């Protein structure tokens, strides 16, 4: 999907490298808006809101995938509508 839109992928992290709370908080530090998708449900909030990092983590405590950053917007989890909106 990203390749088809000509999006530049700045960083790819292999699934074998587990990212946790510290990584989620580092991503939030540079973000303004956060979209989190879990199944068909999508939540939009300000990245500075308390508990934002908790929403980014799965049941094992690892960062949910995929994580897409477009400017100061973070999208965590796969939600086609949110990705289409962020990518224009």
Domain that includes residue 45, residue range: 3-87
Position 12 confidence tier, pLDDT thresholds 50, 70, 90: confident
Long-range pairs for 16-23: beta carbons < 8 A, 24 or more residues apart: 18/62, 18/63, 19/62, 19/63, 20/57, 20/61, 20/62, 20/63, 21/53, 21/57, 21/61, 23/63
Query: How confident is the model over 29-87, as pLDDT tens digits?
Result: 999 999 999 888 889 999 999 999 999 999 999 999 889 888 899 999 987 877 777 77
Structure-token pair, residue 75: 């999208």
Domain count, the chain: 1
How many residues in the chain?
A: 88
Whether the full predicted model's pTM is greater than 0.85, yes or no, is no
Handedness of CA 77, 79, 82, 87 (dihedral sign): positive
CB atoms within 10 A of CB 67: 17
Give the span between the Cα atoms of 44 and 1, in whole angstroms. Answer: 21
């Amino acid at each position: 999907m990203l390749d088809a839109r000509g999006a530049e992928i700045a960083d790819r992290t292999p699934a074998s490298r587990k990212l946790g709370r510290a990584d989620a908080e580092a991503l939030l530090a540079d973000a303004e808006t956060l979209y989190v998708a879990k199944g068909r449900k999508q939540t939009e909030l300000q990245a500075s809101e308390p508990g934002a990092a908790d929403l980014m983590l799965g049941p094992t405590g690892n960062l949910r995938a995929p994580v897409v950053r477009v400017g100061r917007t973070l999208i965590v989890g796969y939600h086609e509508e949110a990705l289409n909106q962020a990518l224009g």
